Amino acid sequence: MPKEATPITPINMALPIRLSLPCDVVPSPSNDTTIDHLLERFPRELRDIVYFYLIHDDLSVPFNLNEERLQSPFADPALSAELLEAVFTHRPCRVTFCDPQLLESGRVTPALRGDNLPHRDCIRNLIVRVREPSRKVSHYGDAFEQLERFCATRSNKIRQEWDEILTLPRLESLTIELQKWGTESFTWFNFSPILYQLREHNPRMQSKLLVSFDEIMEPEWNLQANMEAGVADAELMRDLSPVPDDPYLPMGYADVSELIEAPTKEDYAYVEEHLHGLTDVKSRDFMSGLMAETPSHRRLLAQHYVAKEPPLLRVLMAEHYKVYTRINGGDRI
């Protein structure tokens, strides 16, 4: 039985257009610098203790790297910068990755790139919120070599934001909050080699995969509810408002981390006997299978709908990483 994640209600994840990252420090507008002068007399070790207590109440609340600005109580920019460093060290940080097409257009740069993010080297716990791209391995040919050469030479934006994670030297945990988008298969090759490389570099690395179907299921629910309520031309409307008497109840995220574990001998044996030669991981029809379920049941069943054959997914990720390493020149951390 898959583990049930604590319900986390996702916002409607409009993918960000990051012309610039507002992850800077807003110093205090007050002209009173008494606190600054007192704090400056302390050695850095004591100042770090003060910073920890200043952010103590928010330690479990992720810092939003896309939108959040730190409201500093200090007028001195240097002290404000030290406070931001403490935030990145002790609080989890959340970033929403954008659509690769925006990266290709040149309108945005990767959210975790160093010139956009001061004190990025202090990030220890990262949460990546992302929408699943609808891509199949088979679209790129019959072998992982073709897939990786395509990504490296013609479409490197597919993995560009993920690659930035490899440049965070103090990272201790990575949680992926993925909104399922493909209805037929599960796209894994954009993030799986990053997970493998992080684990290889740091065997104590903690990694989780949380999946939600809310973003793709809610519009369909609202469409059906409006049609049943007799809304004229409901099938022609795109952004339908919820029916007050029949609102969509979000499932939040379900923990399906078992899907991204290293494959076992049993996984290899099962794939060799029953699934040899397959490269696409099929998903079950969650639109019909989960629509009528309660949010808690959706979370319990999520793992079975993300991937029909979990052993195949685990084996493919491991075999793909060997090809990724060979083509991309080994350890990139």
- Residues 271-327 have pLDDT tens digits of 999 999 888 899 999 999 999 999 999 999 999 999 999 999 999 999 999 998 988
pLDDT at 240 over 90: no
pLDDT at 233 over 50: yes
Task: Spell out the SS3 assignment of 49-106.
Answer: HHHHHHCHHHCCCCEECCCCCEECCCCCHHHHHHHHHHHHHHCCEEEECCCHHHHHHC
CA pair distance 43, 31, nearest whole angstrom: 23
Task: Kindly state the tokens that stand for 319.
Answer: 């075999």
pLDDT at 6: 47
Task: Kindly report which listed range (131-145, 161-175, 252-266, 289-303) carries the lowest average pLDDT score.
Answer: 131-145
Dihedral through CA 68, CA 128, CA 332, CA 320, nearest 10? -160
pLDDT at 77 over 80: yes
Burial 180-190 (b: 16+ CB within 10 A, else e): bebeebbbbbb
The answer to whether 103 and 149 have CB atoms below 8 angstroms apart is no
Task: Kindly report which listed range (83-92, 167-176, 259-268) carries the lowest average pLDDT score.
Answer: 83-92
The answer to whether 126 and 194 have CB atoms below 8 angstroms apart is no
pLDDT at 69 over 80: no
Confidence of residue 17 (pLDDT cuts 50, 70, 90): very low
